[in-house]
Amino acid sequence: MNISQYKGSIMTGNMTLCNLLKQGAVLMVLLLVVSQSSFSQSASKTKDDWCATDEVMERYERNNPRVAAERQRKEQQITKLIRRLREEGRVDEYIRNNNVRLKIPVVFHVVYNDPSENIDSTKIKKQIERLNKDFQRLNADTTQTRSVFDSLAAGIDFQFCLASQDPDGNPTNGITRTPTNHGDFGQFDSVKYTNQGGKDAWPQEDYLNIWVCRLGGFVSGYATVPSGLGGLGDGDGIVMRYFDIGGNERTLTHEVGHWFNLYHTFQDSCNGSSNTDCNVWGDEVCDTPQQGSSSAGCDSTLNTCSETPEYPDMIENYMSYADCQNMFTKGQKLRMLVALNYYCERFDLKYSNACGGPPDKGYVKSYPFTENFENDYFAPQFWRLSYVDGRTWQEAEGTGGFGNSQKAAKAEFYTPSQNLNNYSYAMTSQNFDLTGVNKPVAITFSYAYAPSTQSNHDSLFVRLDTNQCGYIYDQIRIWAKGGDGLATAPATQQEFVPQSSEWRRDTIRISNFPSDTIKFAFAAEPKAQGGNNIYVDDINIFIDTFATGRAPSVNANPQQLQVSPNPSNGRFRIRSSLNETKTDGVEMEVYNSVGELVLHENHQINSGGLATTIDLSQYADGFYFVKIFNRNHQLLAKEKLYKLSDRD
């Protein structure tokens, strides 16, 4: 669901400009429009508009349709995953595997025009303490949660800390202070930029940026939500009104909830009240009762929507507008953990050492490295899974490589009645630091696969990944097998579970790395309906100190394709001067931005190079990535495409 569909957005929400006009409050609207800054910061808070996240994100997505399209695609995948987890009874398993203690480095940028706005560090430290208690459910007012909701309440194992290291590696107290001549900043993000009277952000992949300033009007704060495509860059973070920091209010808790992808509890009014559509409509969380509208105060008799089973409005929830907030729910916890894995700008926080952790947090620097998936949780720490249609790699018990262990990683493709054609499921490792390595690196791993039919073409790829977000556009293929070439056991119509003799081991040796820091991605791709499972185990990465001569080199600088028009309404002309593979031809693959393979074609190279046209008109607007490989699976050329339906 697009963030602009929020209940409360400037286009559709409760108590927004349109509603006020309908109610005849013309004078108030004119005052707000003409001079928001004319309202004193000490004015009492109006609970119907104190959070401006909806309006800010609606405006941002309206002005950035590419980001809006990417977020919508991501949200569709999140919805499918959560629905599947609920249907299969695997919610608790997912939470258990992903609920590792996450330290979130926070930097407060205090931007002040008057000394009274330059808030004391004691208030900021108190606010961090408030965040930790609220998220971990250590707050003293948990006793105020009504019994009907008590079993739904959940703590989230996030630990917020003031950053102890700045982006240059220098010690810091996690607070910057910037005097300004700017008046009320309002909701237009100028506080986030030094050249506009504010303060530039610290890198979003390492810090949660919180700006504290004079906002104007009744707004207490607003947040950006995760968006994909690397997030909102320098604008990612939270803006807070200066005197709402350091007290007992939950405004910042509420905004951090948005930052981790939570909607308001009154999202979409009473839509989504049934158990079948609760994770599609409303706040897309099934254990938060729907609310017909936002509500201030603490009225325990409120029940604005009819649903089955019947619940009162959850005025205790941090994502409501009520005055007695004291809880998140298990469903909200699940949604935040899913967002942490789906959106790279949140996932990358796992690597941050800005809270004072080791400088190589999440980085492998000593070799050999081994991963055999025998941990109590899956995926391994710092590894990232990509989900398509609610599916991804998962832990398989009792099936370790060659019978030597109890667990392996499994791409679950055994779906006799479902067509998974052209999906790509990636399991991407943590970072490997190869600084100073001048010998080939060897990767050995075990795999097992049995096709469901002789004509099945499920495939397994190993790729080098040099991009933190794991976009397939930036990945370099180094190994690929499919169909009979991948099979380690005879075809079977039954779900494949490998015996100890049905495993195979392979080794890849590579040199000429595209970067000193790389990841390895194992990508499984089903090519036909009725696929079967692929297993991977016993991954070992080491420096091949006994190698003689050079290992096969990775093409770190593939040619750029000539594409026109770009953007296009779906039809793209592709040209390239490729001439090294005239005999064998090339393979062309097109992926969407979440890694789904949408097009695969074989082409011959003529004397003039490659010239062809591809048609993506049947697919959704957004980014696509086209790649050209030779028959040895070496990447020759690539380019990013952008489809926009309103282009001629």
| Residue owning tokens 């097992």 | 448
Q: Are strands 208-213 and 238-241 parallel, antiparallel or unpaired?
A: parallel
Whether 359 and 348 have beta carbons less than 8 Å apart is answered as: no
For residue 224, give both structure tokens. 């950006």
Longest dimension (CA), the chain: 83
Question: Torsion angle of alpha carbons 406, 410, 415, 416, nearest 10°?
Answer: -60
CB atoms within 10 A of CB 170: 7
Letter string b/e over residues 456-488, b meaning 16 or more CB atoms within 10 A of that residue's CB: bbbbbbbbbbbebbbbbbbbbbbbbbbbeebbb
Runs of H (alpha helix) within 343-392: 344-347
The DSSP H or E segment spanning 507 is strand 504-510
Question: Torsion angle of alpha carbons 433, 439, 441, 442, nearest 10°?
Answer: -150
Q: Can you tell me the distance from the alpha carbon of 139 to that of 324, in angstroms, rounded to the nearest whole number? A: 12
Whether 199 and 175 have beta carbons less than 8 Å apart is answered as: no
Q: Can you tell me the distance from the alpha carbon of 279 to that of 341, in angstroms, rounded to the nearest whole number? A: 18
Q: Can you tell me the distance from the alpha carbon of 529 to that of 415, in angstroms, rounded to the nearest whole number? A: 7
Q: Can you tell me the distance from the alpha carbon of 530 to that of 536, in angstroms, rounded to the nearest whole number? A: 20
Give strand ranges (E) for 50-91.
none
Q: Annotated catalytic residue: which of 58, 255, 316, 587?
A: 255
- 18 DSSP 8-state letter: H
70 flagged as catalytic: no
Q: How many CA atoms lie within 13 A of 438 on its CB side?
A: 1
- The 3-state DSSP class for residue 435 equals coil
- The 3-state DSSP class for residue 67 equals helix
Whether 369 and 324 have beta carbons less than 8 Å apart is answered as: no
For residue 133, give both structure tokens. 């208690």
- Pick from 35, 356, 335: nearest CA to 165: 356
The DSSP H or E segment spanning 73 is helix 65-87
Q: How many CA atoms lie within 13 A of 341 on its CB side?
A: 31
Give strand ranges (E) for 387-494.
393-397, 407-411, 425-428, 431-433, 441-449, 459-465, 475-482
For residue 206, give both structure tokens. 């390492």
Residue 102 burial (10 A CB sphere; 0-12, 13-18, 19+)? middle
**Which of the residues are catalytic?**
255
